[in-house]
Structure 1
Amino acid sequence: MNTSSKTRVAVNGYGVIGKRVADAVAQQEDMELAGVSDISADWRARMVTQKGFRLYGAASEQAQAMRDAGLDVAGTLDDLLGASDVVVDCTPKRVAAKNVELYRQKGMKFIVQGGEKHEVTGHSFVAEASYESALGRDSTRVVSCNTTSIVRTLTALKHAGLLRRARGTLLRRATDPWESHLGGIMNTLVPEPEIPSHQGPDAQSVDPDLDVITMAVKVPETLAHLHYWAVQLTRSADTEEVLDAFRASPRIALIRMADGLTAINAVKELMADLGRPHDNLYEVALWADMLKVQGDELFYGYMVDNQAIVIPETVDAIRALVGQVRDPHESIAKTNAALGIGAVVDALGGR
């Protein structure tokens, strides 16, 4: 039984998302990282123990392999779940869906990531849109990086009473940066074969009222995604009113080409200069000086860090499932303060 006021969080899977979730959870004053479970006994597992986190093998075989590699292993995933209140599954696509049966058998609250289908949990999560409907649930799915950005930006317009319908084109990075040597695409562009691409319907799993259609193409780079959007507003508006709508979201950072942020690599360099771990861009980085409004039509573009944008959402999803923080604004503020979200705006003079 947990006698601490802190929520004990297990992270299952220590890859691109898992390691960032573990770091973020460890920074929250109302959470305790119970430990990390994985199948690997290589350098990634060594990073777990080097950071002082408790390491667990996914099963006894993996735990023994870790011990044979000289790692300090606390036990197996079963042991970790027994010492936790909620588990965040960051295992590869479709693996998490299989793990769900174990979590349910143990009566565990759990979170899966956007690689799984909405039906796995019956609930899809973006803090600014669906926090309250996640309160006290047994499980939720934090949607993908691109879907998170879509819901954040369109929700900002919706809250301002400006959103009628939205049509977006996504330029998608080919693979995660650390896996560039394993594959990807080179000297070509690969269109997704269906319109709409899956991100539009996925956004509607968070908010069914969104009138949104997306198209997507994979491009030969790994830094981030780039979105272009054409939105019909509910009425004519001016540029400043639209920018104010985006400013009202605590997880949208308005950036400017006039500041030298003319490409996604420059924005990543800014994250490094800000001292963000892994150069994480948690916000949607939206170019304010590229945005155009013509009557009731809005056009804009933004950047999505595929490795980082879902991290604050995952932290908020933990609070929602546990139910100790019932106000989404309070949870978002806690998470943002712990992760330094807002520093981009501060670094650019508060714009």
Structure 2
Amino acid sequence: MKNIAVIGYGVIGKRVADAINLQDDMRLTGVCDIISDWRIQNAVRKEYDIYAATSEASKEMKNAGIPVKGSMQDLLEKVDLVVDCTPKKIAAQNVTIYKEKGIKFIVQGGEKHETTGHSFSAENNYKSALNLDATRVVSCNTTSILRTLTALKRAGLLDYARGTLLRRATDPWESHLGGIMNTMVPERDIPSHQGPDAKSVDPDLDVITAAVKVPETLSHMHYWNVKLKKKASKEEVLDAFKTSSRIKLIQYDQGLVSNNTIKEMFLDMGRPWGDMYEVALWEDMLKVVGDELFYAYVVDNQAIVIPETIDAIRALTGIEKDASKSILKTNKSLSIT
């Protein structure tokens, strides 16, 4: 049983905390933040131990009636590993603290690969993360790229891949702050950062991405054109995708025609926040023409990295050395079937 701290209780942090709380081989020791509003109050309602990142935050939390167990330093004395879910500049500062204290840590995909020297995707490189001091769980879009392309690579089908990403403008709860309206904003550089980021996990991938910010907040959507190593049938391609337990094949013809209908399905399935941990890939849209493959899928930017983070905890702490066993355990706890 490993003791785990979550630093930063935002969109990702609250989901990671809940997921840790579902496991039987790790313990959520506490969550730490500077906020004292409804977000951290929900953590109190869930009976999580609350720690304040700064002395000023501690005062504000106590004034708001939040039971503060101690400081971030107090929390770090009690844990085996930290999952840092704070914003970029804050995470970079915290990493220095973790290293000084000799605490294992995980950062999220917003940080650079060089922050940890290792980038993680459970179905791809779990073994290389065993007992490391740190890793970076790659971003939501990069996670989806690695899941799908690695499935094709395992089947001996992948030659190279070219993808276009339609990126949500901001997180749903911040739509009133940073959303874009009545416009689309192409990222200036090609490749966009996701392709090179995927290569930080698997340098052998031949992948180029382009990205466009669009005026919606529910999810990202990807369109891919893949050059296959050989001519293959649609069934062979689908069989390759089925080797990943975290790719969910969906049917356009069953009314799943948009990201909002897909979100509604996961809400109906009883997932917390309607979270989709899987890549939702349209089976009946997928097309094979000779040695070219075309497909599209949807990525839940708030949820897809959660199972990856749980597996990364097991890899770094060494409590499970077999990737397939960790993935199965994580999937079962999060109702990924």
Q: TM-score interval w.r.t. the shorter chain? A: over 0.9
Within the candidate set 287, 290, 294, 1:295 is matched to 290
SS for the counterpart of 2:68 is: coil
8 Å Cα contact 2:247/2:279 also seen in 1? yes
Q: How does 1:1-351 map to 2 (within 5 A)?
A: 6-342=1-337
- How far apart, CA to CA, are the structure 2 residues paired with 1:65 and 1:134? 38
Per-residue deviation, residues 84-123 of structure 1 (Å, max 9, x unmatched): 1100000012321111000011110000000000000000
SS for the counterpart of 1:209 is: coil
What is the alpha-carbon root mean square deviation over aligned residues? Answer: 0.6
Consecutive unaligned residues in structure 1, runs of 5 or more: 1-5, 343-351
- How far apart, CA to CA, are the structure 1 residues paired with 2:216 and 2:276? 17
8 Å Cα contact 2:247/2:278 also seen in 1? yes
Task: Give, in angstroms, the shift of residue 259 of structure 1.
Answer: 1.2
Consecutive unaligned residues in structure 2, runs of 5 or more: none
| TM-score relative to the length of structure 2 | 0.99
Task: Give, in angstroms, the shift of residue 62 of structure 1.
Answer: 1.2
Task: Give, in angstroms, the shift of residue 69 of structure 1.
Answer: 1.0
Paired residue type of 1:167 = R
Task: Give, in angstroms, the shift of residue 63 of structure 1.
Answer: 1.5
- How far apart, CA to CA, are the structure 2 residues paired with 1:106 and 1:60? 20
Task: Give, in angstroms, the shift of residue 269 of structure 1.
Answer: 0.2
Q: Which moved more, 1:268-277 or 1:53-62?
A: 53-62
Task: Give, in angstroms, the shift of residue 51 of structure 1.
Answer: 0.4
Task: Give, in angstroms, the shift of residue 64 of structure 1.
Answer: 2.0
Paired residue type of 2:261 = A
- How far apart, CA to CA, are the structure 1 residues paired with 2:76 and 2:54? 12
Number of aligned residue pairs: 337
| TM-score relative to the length of structure 1 | 0.95
- How far apart, CA to CA, are the structure 1 residues paired with 2:331 and 2:234? 27
Q: What's the % identity of the aligned pairs?
A: 66
- How far apart, CA to CA, are the structure 2 residues paired with 1:279 and 1:64? 34
- How far apart, CA to CA, are the structure 2 residues paired with 1:277 and 1:122? 33
SS for the counterpart of 1:91 is: coil
- How far apart, CA to CA, are the structure 2 residues paired with 1:230 and 1:183? 31
- How far apart, CA to CA, are the structure 1 residues paired with 2:190 and 2:89? 23
- How far apart, CA to CA, are the structure 2 residues paired with 1:183 and 1:144? 19
- How far apart, CA to CA, are the structure 2 residues paired with 1:45 and 1:339? 22
- Displacement over 6 Å in runs of 4+: none
Task: Give, in angstroms, the shift of residue 335 of structure 1.
Answer: 0.2
8 Å Cα contact 1:94/1:115 also seen in 2? no
- How far apart, CA to CA, are the structure 2 residues paired with 1:295 and 1:257? 23
- How far apart, CA to CA, are the structure 2 residues paired with 1:191 and 1:236? 33
Aligned counterpart, 1:348: none
